Structure formats: C-alpha cells, structure tokens
C-alpha cells in the first residue's frame, strides 16, 4: 500500500514537474507587455464570472472601487500641492528649443512645474528633471476618442476595432483637427491604452490627458459593434431575465443601431431619454468610460512602481468641472490633480455673464477632491494682437493678473502657456 502511495506521489510529482516545465517554457516566450495583458484579462474574467446571470446592479463607482489601486493618494504626489509657478512654454508640435533657450526660460521664470503640452519637448533628455523641476508627459495626446492628425493611420488598422461610429453606423470626423474619434469599448483601442503607460509612466512626474471627460455618448457616437456587444453584456450582468423581458430587451436579437433608429421614429429627443433601454445605454457609456479612466490611471501608477520610479500624478481635462457637467465634477475624485482647460469664452470681457464659471472651477474642484488635491487650470489670457484667442488684443497683463488673482484667492494655480510668454507679445 505504501509503495502504491509512493508510486502515485511520484507520478503526481513528475506530472507537476512536466506541466510546470511547459508553463515556464510558454511564459518565457511572452514579453512583459503580453504577460501583463493576460494577467489583466484573467482579472477581468474573474470579475465577469461573479456577475454571470446576476441581477446585482453595480454603479460606476462600485465597479471602479474593485480596480482602483493603492497609489491614488500616494505621498509621491505631495509636490503638486506646492506648485506656484506652473508653465507650459511650448507645445509638442512647436519647433524644439535649444538647451540655451530652455535654460534662459528656466532662469527667468523659475517654474515649479512644466505642464500640459510643454513637458515632452521641454524635458527632452530629462533636461528639467535633472535640474529638479517636475515636468509632465502626455497620454497618447488627445487619447481615447481622438487620434488627432493620425486619422489616416487609425482607419487602416482600427476601422473595425477602435474607431467609433455614429448612430447610423457611419464613421465621423468629430474630434479636434477633424480626426476620428476612438471607442474605449473596442478591445484593440483599450489594449493600446493599457500598453501606453508601461512605456510612458517613467518619463514624467505628471501625466496629462486631454479630452479626459469626453464620453462618446455626448458626441453622438458610441454605436460600433463593440458598444453593441458590450451593452448586451452589461444588460445581462445587471438585470435578471424577468427585468429584461419587462424592458422588451431580448439579448439574442438586440441591435443598438436599429433599436435607436426605431425609437427615433416615434419619440421626441426628450422622450428618448425616458426609454428604459436607452436610459441604461447612456449609463453603460458613462460607467464604462469611468472604468476605462481609472484603468488607465492604474497602469501609470503601477508601471512606475514596478520600474522603481516615483508614482506620477495623473490629470486630465475636466471641462465642465465648474458645475455644468456633473461627470467632469465626479472625475475630481478619481484623478491625482484636478485640472481643466478653461475656454477663453468664459472670461471677461468676452462674456461677462459667465465670469462666475472661472471662480466656480476652483471652488468645486477643491470641494469635489475633498480638499486633498491640487487644482490647476489653464486659460489663454491673451492673444498676440488680434490673433487667437481673440478679445484681449495685445494687452495680456490685465487678464493674466485677473486670472492669477482669482486662482490664488480660491486655492488654485494657473498654468501659463506660450500665449503669455514675452516672445508672443
């Protein structure tokens, strides 16, 4: 009997050895990025498993609570609260500055942080970092729904798995600079978004992401086949069969584009919002966008931690944080620094009726981040003579002083751009 048990143990041990050998051989062929993608897919599969057939409705905040990492209140972000002089003297696509010109600027303005579109070129070769000045880098500029001038390339490689679609199923050039919008519900684009931080996380003390608050639904997009299948999964994960039947939602037959088209025939835009399925569809887009946002921020934090670098502070454009877009306000609790590019049309003397927005952004940003985070904003205080942004002409002292005073009084910090540099006067 003993020998039989011994024999069995031997076979078991050998089997384990063979299998572990196979596993080692298989994993040895994978790159670090591939391993990470597999690990994340497994993690998501476990979460999906928990939801199969469930009628447990989860809010966006409940979903992100499961993935939010421990670095969201990292002591590595403390420096951001002490920034006073916050500058973005150049842009990515501006001609590069010489070292002498950069040094002259640093000597003159003594910035505490180089931000927005300025970091990637200004800090090349770690020029700023080596001199103790934090600077940013950007997350796939324009990012999740906007490839900017890369439109031509995205169509060739991501037309069916990445580029967003309109209600009628067509593509639309709807982004900045006439680019195509991208869909974070498509696996290929989401995969690229997750990979990006692994390379970029170590290049900046902060990470900047434009158009961070832009949910596809708000742009009349979000109707690709991945949105369709993702929405069907969402409905089945969150509602029981009886509830789905009440909504006349049959997963095997449902098609998002034709459903919306058929409802438009009989419902007004206001009535559309009351339709229970469309109501859930809008919720699905917001909830997924929030999940995507925290997922990307997690990757920055974790990639830097793995590489032994300080955890970079993430911030994205929260247009509407002054109260007009509740989703932008809620993002204040998910980022490391609250930030918004405030449109010049919200400033005097262009539209005095909405001057209050520029005060509210500081107050709401501070409160929505529980007074724990730095609140930064960017305004284009003056154009060169009559060039964009219009309104102030050559005089930029008054609007710059006004914006700075307002920010300081309300506990925030402005970022001064190239527009406010003497060279642009």
- Residue 183 or residue 403: which is nearer to Zn ion going by CB? 183
Which residue number, 226 or 362, has a Cβ lying nearer to Zn ion? 226
Measured distance CA(174)–CA(165) in Å, rounded: 10
- Find, among 113, 84, 119, the residue nearest to 210 by Cα: 119
Provide the binding-site residues for Zn ion, judged by CB under 5 A: 183, 185, 224, 226-227
Phi, psi dihedral angles at 17 (to 5 degrees): -65, -45
Shortest CB 185 distance to Zn ion, Å? 4
- At closest approach, how far in Å is the CB of 193 from Zn ion? 14
Report the distance separating Cα 54 and Cα 275, nearest Å: 22
Nearer to Zn ion, 212 or 226 (CB): 226
**Phi, psi of 293, deg, nearest 5:** -60, -50
- Least separation in angstroms between residue 259's CB and Zn ion is 15
When the beta carbons of 136 and 185 are compared against Zn ion, the nearer one is: 185
* Residue with the two structure tokens 């447990």: 56
Kindly state the smallest distance separating residue 261's Cβ from Zn ion, in Å.
16
Residue 287 vs 347, nearer CB to Zn ion: 287
Are residues 200 and 309 in contact, defined by beta-carbon separation less than 8 angstroms?
A: no
Choice between 80 and 224, CB closer to Zn ion: 224
- The number of C-alpha atoms within 13 Å of 411 and in the hemisphere containing its C-beta is 17
**Greatest C-alpha distance within the chain:** 97
Asked if omega into 349 is within 30° of 0 (cis), the reply is yes
Q: Please answer whether residues 317 and 342 qualify as being in contact, where contact means their C-beta atoms are separated by less than 8 angstroms.
A: no
Cβ within 8 Å of residue 175, ≥6 positions away: 142, 145, 146, 147, 148, 181, 211
- For the bound state, the minimum distance from the C-beta of residue 128 to Zn ion, rounded and expressed in Å, comes to 38
Q: Which is nearer to Zn ion, 224 or 378 (CB)?
A: 224
- For residue 33, give Cα distances in angstroms to 69, 193, 422: 19, 12, 44
Query: How is the beta sheet containing 86-88 ordered, strand by strand?
Result: 113-114, 86-88, 413-417, 375-378, 338-341
Q: How far is the CB of 224 from Zn ion (least distance, A)?
A: 3
Question: In the complex, what is the shortest distance from the CB of residue 362 to Zn ion, in angstroms, rounded to a whole number?
Answer: 35
Which of residues 296 and 361 has its CB atom nearest to Zn ion in the complex? 296
Residue 186's nearest CA partner among 219, 159, 211 is 159
Position closest to Zn ion via CB: 183
Q: What does the chain come to in residues?
A: 425
Report the nearest approach of Zn ion to the CB of residue 186 (Å).
Answer: 6
């Amino acid at each position: 009997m003993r020998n039989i048990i011994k024999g069995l143990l031997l076979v078991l041990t050998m089997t384990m050895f063979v299998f572990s050998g196979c596993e080692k051989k298989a994993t040895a062929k994978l790159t670090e990025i591939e391993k990470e993608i597999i690990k994340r897919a497994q993690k998501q599969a476990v979460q999906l498993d928990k939801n199969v057939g469930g009628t447990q409705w989860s809010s966006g905040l409940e979903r992100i609570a499961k993935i939010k990492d421990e670095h969201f209140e990292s002591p590595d972000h403390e420096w951001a609260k002490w920034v006073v002089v916050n500058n973005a003297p150049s842009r990515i696509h501006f001609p590069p500055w010489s070292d002498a010109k950069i040094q002259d600027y640093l000597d003159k303005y003594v910035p505490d942080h180089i931000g927005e579109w300025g970091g990637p070129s200004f800090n090349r070769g770690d020029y700023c970092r080596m001199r103790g000045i934090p600077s940013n880098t950007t997350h796939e500029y324009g990012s999740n729904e906007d490839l900017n001038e890369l439109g031509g390339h995205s169509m060739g490689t991501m037309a069916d798995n990445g580029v967003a679609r309109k209600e009628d199923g067509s593509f639309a050039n709807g982004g900045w600079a006439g680019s195509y919008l991208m869909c974070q519900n498509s696996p290929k684009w989401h995969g690229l978004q997750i990979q990006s931080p692994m390379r970029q996380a170590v290049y900046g003390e902060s990470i900047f992401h434009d158009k961070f608050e832009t949910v596809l639904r708000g742009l009349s997009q979000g109707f690709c086949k991945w949105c369709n299948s993702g929405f069907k999964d969402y409905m089945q994960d969150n509602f029981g069969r009886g509830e789905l039947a009440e909504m006349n939602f049959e997963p095997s037959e449902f098609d998002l584009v034709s459903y919306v088209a058929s409802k438009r025939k009989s419902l007004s835009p206001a009535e559309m919002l009351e339709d229970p399925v469309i109501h859930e569809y809008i919720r699905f887009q917001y909830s997924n966008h929030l999940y995507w946002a925290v997922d990307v921020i997690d990757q920055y934090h974790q990639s830097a931690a793995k590489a032994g670098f300080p955890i970079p502070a993430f911030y994205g454009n929260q247009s509407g944080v002054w109260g007009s877009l509740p989703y932008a306000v809620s993002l204040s609790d998910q980022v490391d620094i609250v930030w918004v590019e405030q449109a010049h049309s919200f400033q005097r003397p262009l539209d005095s009726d909405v001057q209050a927005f520029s005060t509210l952004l500081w107050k709401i940003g501070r409160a929505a981040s529980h007074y724990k985070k730095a609140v930064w904003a960017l305004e284009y205080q003056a154009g060169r003579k009559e060039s964009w942004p219009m309104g102030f002409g050559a005089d930029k002292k008054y609007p710059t002083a006004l914006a700075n005073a307002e920010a300081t009084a309300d506990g925030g910090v402005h970022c001064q751009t190239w527009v406010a540099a003497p060279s642009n006067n």
